[in-house]
Amino acid sequence: MPECPNPKDTQWPIWEVFVQEKSGEPHQHAGSIHAPDSEMALQNARDIFARRGEAVSMWVVQSKHITATIPEDNPSFFEPAADKIYRHPQFYSVPRAKRTDEERRNKE
Amino acid sequence: MEDANKLKEFEARIERGEKIEPKDWMPERYRTQLIRMISQHAHSEIVGMLPEGNWITRAPSLRRKMSLLAKVQDEAGHGLYLYCAAETLGVDRSELVGEFLSGKAKYSNIFNYPTLTWADIGAIGWLVDGAAIVNQTMLAKCSYGPYSRANLRICKEETFHKVQGYEIVCTMAQGRPAQRKMIQDAVNRWWWPSLMMFGPHDKNSPNSAELMKWKVKLFSNDDLRQRFVNLTVRQARAAGVTLPDPDLKYNPETDNWEFGEINWDEFWSVVRGNGPCNRDRMRARRRAHVEGAWVREAADAYAAKQRAKAAKSA
Ligand SMILES: [Fe+2]
Ligand SMILES: [Fe+2]
């Protein structure tokens, strides 16, 4: 039995992978991979997340460069949006604009 | 006191069917159980390449060879999805790989059985990947977001694994007498170990209740096993092979195919390291790690060179 090797050399930086599956669609987070630099990160991402032609574009970004919200702060962070119902059309009362009888008959 | 409130809120979220994400508060026990489960799952995908890799160079046709190569490559990808899912819980991949290489970590028992003939490749795709699909379909709905998403990706690829194996089984079962004998022998050898993949009976599975409470698992080992048996009995009939269990019989009341008792002594013996291939697998894993070192070194050297070049031109 060979000796147990040192696993430390497998710990490259982690990259988050964003994939656009069809043109016109948004890039969506697919998962993460390890790679020593951005070029190899893209190649690894292709091999892991697009082996069946499910991508037209890909982004990779090193995980440490992503700034994210903290769940505990969610109430105060997202709260300001909750009481601004006037940002939705349902807030307003306006009359319904209907077709005239003549317009309706004309369409039939 | 604060933790008791947090735990209550955590369990309420799970009850509502919400997913838990990496930065959310979670009980330490949920975290450690997930790390254990996800890393064992990852190791299994990686070891799982070995029994099948054994037959890539000896596949009977180019078509079969391409399929098997693609299937084995998918399994490597599954391992990587899962290691990354585990890393979201605050462990490094190198720690997990280290536990794997040292023999401390467990992986699925099934991969400690040998692949003796080409027919085994058919039986593995059909039965082993078939059982894995039943399990992973459940895990795709589990409460931990990254693990659920990894399993969703895995499931999208598994159907191909199962069908390529099942096609081998069906083809051989309609072949010459020697081929029919060979495929039946492979099915006979893989059937019981496949049933063991779902783990011990619920009453002997210490983690099950807790995992189900937290919706890491949604069904019990025995329920999943029964689902697999019901599916597979029909497929065996369609393929023209038999399953090696004289006690197998349909119960019209429950709509289940009842089956005989599993040899749990064998199961525990393989878990403890005494399966036919435990030592072989570990040896192959360690060797692959050592022999692949130059690839990692070369990648590091290339990245360093590119960085130096960029610094110079800046
Ligand atoms: Fe897999
Ligand atoms: Fe598979």
Q: What is the pLDDT of residues B268-286, one digit of tens each?
A: 999 999 999 999 999 999 9
Q: Which pLDDT value is given to residue B2?
A: 64
Nearest chain B residue (CA) to A15 = B84
User: Strand A28-34 vs strand B249-251: parallel, antiparallel, or unpaired?
Assistant: unpaired
Phi and psi angles of residue B118, each rounded to the nearest 5 degrees, phi first: -60, -30
Cβ contacts (< 8 Å) between A40 and chain B: which residues?
A: 299, 302-303
Contact state of B87 with A72 under an 8 Å Cβ cutoff: no
Q: Which pLDDT value is given to residue A81?
A: 73
Mean pLDDT of B5-12: 94
Query: For residue B126, which of B278, B276, B249, B241 has the smallest C-alpha distance?
Result: B241
> Alpha-carbon distance A69 to B253, whole Å?
53
* C-alpha dist (Å) from residue B142 to A27, A49, B68, B80, B93: 25, 21, 29, 19, 22
**B249 and B257 in contact (C-beta within 8 Å)?**
yes
Q: Which pLDDT value is given to residue B314?
A: 77
> Alpha-carbon distance B194 to B124, whole Å?
9
pLDDT at position B180 over 90: yes
Name the residues around ion ligand 2, CB cutoff 5 A.
B 129, 158, 161
Cα of B3 to nearest chain A Cα, Å? 14
Q: Does A39 touch chain B (CB under 8 A)?
A: yes
Q: Is A17 helix (H, G, I), strand (E, B) or coil?
A: strand
Mean pLDDT of B220-234: 97
For B174-220, where are the alpha helices, taking DSSP H only? 177-196, 208-213
A11-64 pLDDT per residue, tens: 899 999 999 999 999 999 999 999 999 999 999 999 999 999 889 999 999 999
pLDDT at position B1 over 60: no
Query: For residue B82, which of B48, B23, B39 has the smallest C-alpha distance?
Result: B39
Nearest chain B residue (CA) to A39 = B303
Please give the distance, rounded to the nearest whole angstrom, from the Cα atom of residue B47 to the centre of ligand 2.
Answer: 12
pLDDT at position B220 over 90: yes
Mean pLDDT of B142-149: 98
* Residue B36: both structure tokens together: 């254990």
Q: Which pLDDT value is given to residue B279?
A: 94
Q: Is B208 helix (H, G, I), strand (E, B) or coil?
A: helix
Q: Which pLDDT value is given to residue B70?
A: 97
pLDDT at position A82 over 80: no
pLDDT band at A108 (very low <50, low <70, confident <90, very high): confident
Contact state of A7 with B289 under an 8 Å Cβ cutoff: yes
User: Strand B256-258 vs strand A57-62: parallel, antiparallel, or unpaired?
Assistant: unpaired
Mean pLDDT of B37-41: 97
For the sheet with A14-20, list strands across it: A28-34, A14-20, A57-62
Contact state of A72 with B290 under an 8 Å Cβ cutoff: no
Cα of A91 to nearest chain B Cα, Å? 30
* Complete DSSP assignment for B68-133: HHHHHHHHHHHHHHHHHHHHTTT--HHHHHHHHHHT-S---GGGGS---STHHHHHIIIIIHHHHH
Q: Which pLDDT value is given to residue A4?
A: 85
State chain A's mean pLDDT as an integer. 91
* Residue B102: both structure tokens together: 């040292």
First to last CA, chain B: 56
* Residue A27: both structure tokens together: 């890039």
Phi and psi angles of residue B147, each rounded to the nearest 5 degrees, phi first: -70, -40
pLDDT at position A10 over 80: no
Q: Which pLDDT value is given to residue B71?
A: 97
